[in-house]
Structure 1
Amino acid sequence: MPQLSSPVERVHRSFLAAMAEFRDEGRGDVGDDTMISKELREFADRWPTREGFAEYVGWLRAQALEDSPRPEGFVPSTTLWWIEDDDYLGRVAIRHRLTPHLFEVGGHIGYDVRPSARRRGHATAMLRAALSVAHGLGIASALVTCDASNVASRKVIEANRGTFDDQRGEKLRFWVPTT
């Protein structure tokens, strides 16, 4: 049964396959501002080696710490992977607080499910499991956004008791209770 986990090195092979799937669907392009795309551009050349992957895992874990270096405008973020045995199925990132930009379009929680694992309920279960982690970080109600055209993501948010707030540009904004 899949579960949330801190990033771990044992899913290395499966993680590489998942990133190849994301790249095959066009992620990683300069115009794509998603978490996966940014990390594909920044880290993909280091992921194939055990050492490079271990550094990436360490970097991800460190991003949850308040004093870790990060780009201007970025906040501490807890990244958790949705894994089953040694299979990487997806990931969720919980931003510890909102900046003005995150309040508009990014929200507290972002998630991705690898293409070959979609349409099996993973995103709904992953978000549900992440809500208690968000609560533990002091987030009573998490802002979760999705593209207006992403019907599947909207259903995931609504299945987790997300209440529609408004639409800003192409982004739908929902507030999801964490308890």
Structure 2
Amino acid sequence: MPELIRPLPRVRESYVAAMAEFQAEGRGKPDDQTMIGVEIREFGSTWHTPEGFARYVSRLRAEAEEDAPRPPGIVPATTLWWVDGAEYLGRLAVRHRLTPRLLEGGGHIGFDVRPSARRRGHATAMLRAALPVVAGLGIDRALVTCDVDNVASRKVIEACGGEFEDRRGVKLRFWVATSPGSAP
């Protein structure tokens, strides 16, 4: 049964295989500014060793700490992995607060499912499972965005209660209640 976990070294082999799937789709190229794209470029050459992957996991876990060093404009973020045993299926990042840039297009929550695990309900289950975590961070209404042409992500957001607010450029913006009784 899949579950959300904080990043752990035990899924290294599956994680590396998942990143290869994303790269086969074109992720990780210089113009890819997604979480996965940036991380492939920054850490991909070290994931093949247990030590390198452990350093990467430690960095991800530290990003949730309020006082962790980070570039200007980057907020604390909790990364959660959707796994089934040692099988990495996807990831979700919860940004603890919104900057003007995140309010426009990035939102509180970003998620990805590895290509070989798509179209099986993982994204919807993962987002639903994360909502209590988001509520625990004091976020009653989470902004979740997707590209205008990403029908699958739009369906996931709506299935989790997302209420459409507007379109800004190439992004659709939705508000999702994080706990029962919190209005979107």
Query: What's the TM-score once normalised by structure 1's chain length?
Result: 0.99
* One-letter amino acid of the structure 2 residue matched with residue 127 of structure 1: L
The equivalent of 2:135 in structure 1 is 135
The equivalent of 1:71 in structure 2 is 71
Distance 2:94 2:107 in 1: 9
The equivalent of 1:157 in structure 2 is 157
* One-letter amino acid of the structure 2 residue matched with residue 71 of structure 1: P
Distance 1:175 1:55 in 2: 34
CA offset at residue 30 of structure 1?
Answer: 1.1
Identity over aligned pairs, percent: 68
| 2:28 counterpart SS class | coil
Deviations 1:88-126 (A, max 9, x none): 000000000000000001000000000000000000000
| 2:124 counterpart SS class | helix
CA offset at residue 24 of structure 1?
Answer: 0.3
| 2:146 counterpart SS class | strand
Distance 1:149 1:30 in 2: 22
Q: Do residues 11 (structure 1) and 15 (structure 2) align? A: no
* One-letter amino acid of the structure 2 residue matched with residue 155 of structure 1: K
The equivalent of 2:171 in structure 1 is 171
| 1:161 counterpart SS class | coil
The equivalent of 1:101 in structure 2 is 101
* One-letter amino acid of the structure 2 residue matched with residue 103 of structure 1: L
Q: Do residues 40 (structure 1) and 40 (structure 2) align? A: yes
Alignment of 1:79-118 (within 5 A): 79-118=79-118
Gap runs ≥5 in structure 1: none
Deviations 1:36-87 (A, max 9, x none): 0010010001111100000000000000000111111100000000000100
Q: Do residues 119 (structure 1) and 119 (structure 2) align? A: yes
CA offset at residue 31 of structure 1?
Answer: 1.0
Query: What's the TM-score once normalised by structure 2's chain length?
Result: 0.97
The equivalent of 2:62 in structure 1 is 62
* One-letter amino acid of the structure 1 residue matched with residue 10 of structure 2: R
CA offset at residue 152 of structure 1?
Answer: 0.2
CA offset at residue 33 of structure 1?
Answer: 1.0
Q: Number of residues paired by the alignment?
A: 179
Distance 1:71 1:149 in 2: 30
Distance 1:90 1:73 in 2: 25
Distance 2:163 2:106 in 1: 16
Quote the RMSD (CA, aligned, Å). Answer: 0.4
* One-letter amino acid of the structure 1 residue matched with residue 53 of structure 2: F
Distance 2:169 2:47 in 1: 35
The equivalent of 1:25 in structure 2 is 25
